[in-house]
Amino acid sequence: MTRSDVFAPHPPAGSTGPVAVVVTALGVESRAVAEHFAPGRRPLHEADGTVYEIGTFDGDHGPWTVPLVEAGQGNTSAGIEVDRAVRVFGPDVVLFVGIAGGVKDVALGDVVAADSVYDYERGKDTEDGFVPRIKTKSSSHRLLQYARATARREQWQARVRPAPPEGTPPRSRVAPIAAGGKVVGHDRSRTAELLRAHCGDAVAVEMEGYGFLHGAYLNPRADALVVRGVSDLLDDKGEENDRAEQPRAARHAAAFAFELLDVLRSAGRRQ
């Protein structure tokens, strides 16, 4: 056995169908993802100190094996964990599923699949102030095509668990978002002003998407996509909103992500 054989990626033991690694940052996000796993045993798999919960998603068009890893907050952690997961499992797709703050053109509970993610903290600090040098990473073209199809079909809402109350259903869209190390607490904060000035088409802001896509960029074997549910708005933040809206937004993002996986299976070939 060669060194390359020892360190070659392998699907989890007992896998059926393709493999989709899901990365989250928070427990509320992980719980929303795990709600879509089939009943039964969900073994833990440790690799280099990272622990994955191995679930199965029984979609209408076939099963997926889903290693779930909670990376913690921040671009760096997300990038490290997606790089590690691709090397361990050799997945067909990698998804980041979580919550975000709405910047514009979105409502609480809406879902955004990121076509690109801006690293808004890149720049140069000069005597005249901070000069942004925004960097961008993009989700994979293939998954963006399926994300657009999933948004158009408007069937993902049926996967929300528990079902949302009757009324206006949550919407979904494919659009840019921004990522950085700050929790943006007000629409008149310096960071909010920076986003409006230099990331004007970003509809949401979060903390991991850029690092996640950078880690995926370094491992082109798997397609990658960031999916976010809007849990608060920059002009309406507060702890009460967090308690009520974070679980709801996480469930919406997870529902969209698993509907997308089923749409992928419906294409009729191994992913």
pLDDT digit string, tens, across residues 228-268: 999 999 876 666 667 889 999 999 999 999 999 999 999 86
Range with the poorest average pLDDT among 45-49, 171-175, 233-237: 233-237
Greater model confidence, 131 or 81 = 81
Cα–chain center distance at 121:
20
pLDDT at 270 over 60: no
Q: Residue 48: how many CA atoms within 13 Å on its side-chain side? A: 11
Please give the angle made by the CA atoms of 51, 20 and 176, to the nearest 5 degrees. Answer: 105
Among 119-128, 144-153, 179-188, the range with the most confident prediction by mean pLDDT is 144-153
How many structural domains does the chain have? 1
Angstrom distance (rounded) from CA 137 to CA 114: 10
Task: Identify whether 246 is part of a domain.
Answer: yes
Q: What is the pLDDT of residue 238?
A: 66
Task: Identify whether 185 is part of a domain.
Answer: yes
Cβ-in-10-Å burial (0-12, 13-18, 19+) of 220 comes to exposed
Going by pLDDT thresholds of 50, 70 and 90, the confidence category of residue 215 is very high
The residue segments making up the domain with residue 209 are: 15-266
Q: What is the pLDDT of residue 6?
A: 38
Task: Identify whether 183 is part of a domain.
Answer: yes
Cβ-in-10-Å burial (0-12, 13-18, 19+) of 157 comes to middle
pLDDT at 56 over 80: yes
Task: Identify whether 206 is part of a domain.
Answer: yes
Q: Which of 65, 99, 124, 60 is nearest to 263 (CA)?
A: 60
Task: Identify whether 9 is part of a domain.
Answer: no
Q: Which of 89, 68, 95, 81 is nearest to 215 (CA)?
A: 81
CB 209 within 8 A of CB 176: no
Residue 200: how many other CB atoms lie within 10 Å: 10
The H or E element containing residue 223 is: strand 223-233
pLDDT at 10 over 70: yes
Angstrom distance (rounded) from CA 81 to CA 134: 23
Mean pLDDT along residues 190-214: 86
Q: Which of 72, 118, 110, 121 is nearest to 232 (CA)?
A: 110
Looking at residue 182, which CATH number applies to its domain? 3.40.50.1580
Alpha helices in the chain (DSSP H): 3-6, 27-34, 75-89, 141-153, 190-198, 209-217, 239-266
Task: Identify whether 262 is part of a domain.
Answer: yes
Task: Identify whether 4 is part of a domain.
Answer: no
pLDDT at 101 over 90: yes
Q: What is the pLDDT of residue 131?
A: 72
Per-residue exposure over 176-185, b if at least 16 CB sit within 10 Å of its own CB, e if not: bbbbbeeebe
One-letter amino acid identity for 101? G
**219 is written with which tokens?**
């491992």
**141 is written with which tokens?**
């073209």
pLDDT at 146 over 70: yes
Task: Identify whether 3 is part of a domain.
Answer: no
